[in-house]
Amino acid sequence: MRGPVAATLGRRSAGRGRGIDCARSEGAAGTRTGMADPPQTNKPVDDAALEALIDRARGGDLTAFNSLVVRFQDPVYSLALRMLSSPQAAEDATQEAFIRAWRRIDTFRGGRFQSWLFTIVANLSRDELRRRGRRPQTSLDAARDDPDRASLDPADDGPSPEAVAEQGDLRALLQAALAQLPDDWREIVVLSDVKDLAYDEIASITGLPLGTVKSRLSRARGRLRDIIAATAEPNVVPDRLGGRR
């Protein structure tokens, strides 16, 4: 990210009586054009150390929680940015997500801490999208059954969007194509192909049935390929992408 999201969240986290430092690491994650997130620059934390930090944070240790903020702030911000397409809105959602996580840390019941944080920031991002009034003009699930719109549900036996994005000429194009997806489709693509989450984790984060996650991901990937094929120069789109329908 460019600069700090906030030097401190103290005044907005009064629910537990103390501040939350949320200094962002340097970098430009908000401007990268590849599909998958770049490797995190923070020092890795092994599972035992991570569990120890979580346990201390659940006991009210703010220093431990701040360590968790530093560890997870970049992927949380990245998810918000991909969903909201606005650095400022993503920063706001990230701050609010960590404030809520601090206030509700005692409700964390185990599992992947990152997925728990993703659930919080994804809910906040959906709230923001609803506030903006952004809605698909047609119900996507209903449209699938419309014989005149069969292209909404393409087969998904081709390369994944992130594999295509490895070709440098398509990276910026793919990022722009993501922004054109309906909000609910984009969220699932980001969770799957950017965050590399399993289907069951995505279902837990989004609150959708597992089958719906799989079908929406298939349709979203197909739509991405169609967008890229329609906008890229013919000599840029690979045969395996351009020929899919």
The DSSP code sequence of the chain is --S-S-S--GGG-GGGTS----PPPSS-GGG--SSSPPPP-SPP--HHHHHHHHHHHHTT-HHHHHHHHHHHHHHHHHHHHHHH--HHHHHHHHHHHHHHHHHTGGG--SS-HHHHHHHHHHHHHHHHHHHHT---SS-HHHHHT-GGGGGGS----S--HHHHTTSHHHHHHHHHHHHHS-HHHHHHHIIIIIS---HHHHHHHHT--HHHHHHHHHHHHHHHHHHHHHHS-TTTS-HHHHT--
Phi first, then psi, for residue 34 (nearest 5°) are -75, 165
Residue 55 lies in a domain: yes
Question: Domain check: are 126 and 16 in the same one?
Answer: yes
Give the pLDDT of residue 113: 95
Give the pLDDT of residue 110: 83
Q: Does the model's pTM come out above 0.85?
A: no
**Structural domain ending residue among the three candidates 100, 132, 164:** 132
Question: Domain check: are 115 and 161 in the same one?
Answer: no
Question: Domain check: are 155 and 125 in the same one?
Answer: no
What's the CA gap between 6 and 8, in Å, rounded? Answer: 5
Question: Domain check: are 15 and 49 in the same one?
Answer: yes
Give the pLDDT of residue 7: 39
What range defines the domain where residue 54 resides? 10-132
Residue 16 lies in a domain: yes
The amino acid present at 204, given as its one-letter code, is S
Residue 3 lies in a domain: no
Give the pLDDT of residue 37: 62
Give the pLDDT of residue 206: 93
Domain count, the chain: 2
Give the pLDDT of residue 194: 85
Give the pLDDT of residue 85: 86
Question: Domain check: are 61 and 155 in the same one?
Answer: no
Q: Domain holding 234: CATH number? A: 1.10.10.10
**Structural domain ending residue among the three candidates 90, 111, 132:** 132
Question: Domain check: are 230 and 166 in the same one?
Answer: yes
Closest by Cα among 178, 172, 163 to 232: 172
What's the CA gap between 69 and 14, in Å, rounded? Answer: 17
Question: Domain check: are 152 and 66 in the same one?
Answer: no
Question: Domain check: are 153 and 233 in the same one?
Answer: yes
Burial 134-169 (b: 16+ CB within 10 A, else e): eeeeeebeebeeeeeeeebbbebebebbbebbeeee
Closest by Cα among 91, 73, 89, 86 to 37: 73
* pLDDT values of the chain reduced to their tens digit, one per residue, 245 residues: 433 333 344 444 444 444 455 544 333 333 333 455 655 544 455 788 999 999 999 999 999 999 999 999 999 999 999 899 889 999 999 999 999 999 999 999 888 999 999 999 999 999 999 988 754 434 444 444 444 443 444 445 555 655 555 555 566 777 788 889 999 999 999 999 888 899 999 999 999 999 999 999 999 999 988 888 787 655 554 343 343 33
Q: How far apart are the first and last CA of the chain?
A: 37
Question: Domain check: are 163 and 193 in the same one?
Answer: yes
Give the pLDDT of residue 238: 38
Question: Domain check: are 21 and 122 in the same one?
Answer: yes
